[in-house]
Amino acid sequence: MFKNDARRYQRISLNLPARIVINATDEFEGRLLNISPGDMALITEAKVVVGDAAVIHIDGLDVIESTVARTFPDGFATSFLLSKRRRNLLIEQLMLKANPEFADGLGDRRSTLRHRDNGSRASCRLADGTSLFVTIVDTSVNGVSVDARRRPPIGSSIHVGRRRGVIVRHTPRGFVVVYEGAAAETAEEQKPVLRAV
């Protein structure tokens, strides 16, 4: 991402531990200072130069490949190397960080480890008896995120394979299901206004 692209997104302040790997050889500890869907700033003792490759493992967020864009006395900033799909997933994660009221009842988003999937397909059965074929994006013990050609309403019951769940939110290309018993039943409420990232 070029410098004039880096301001397309609003940065949010997040104080999270980070593990930083520079040029696939040196590993350092650090902390996230702020982040947007296109770049981030980190506090660390790592000595880097502009152009270094940096893989950042952020606790509770993601693993992000990036390039060092600038340095400052106690850290550096990076620009991300993300596919459109990965950037959309990050935007989604950051929107929940910026709007924690939207995470109520969605404990699966942060409480369990998610596993990326290689695009395997699954058959879903909706409450009205119709079937829907989806592509798995990632899974956890509590739920699953899928890409789908249509998005049933939030709150709908659904079977993904043999597991029953509830659709708790829509994504740009599909939806997220929390398995039965994994989260409290989601009630329809007036939604607060989202703060953009």
How far is 12 from 33, CA to CA, in rounded Å? 9
Q: What are 2-18's pLDDT values in tens digits?
A: 444 445 667 888 888 99
pTM: 0.50
CB-CB neighbours of 166 under 10 Å? 20
CB-CB neighbours of 10 under 10 Å? 13
CB 56 within 8 A of CB 48: no
Q: What are 130-159's pLDDT values in tens digits?
A: 999 999 988 888 888 899 988 888 888 999
CB 64 within 8 A of CB 55: yes
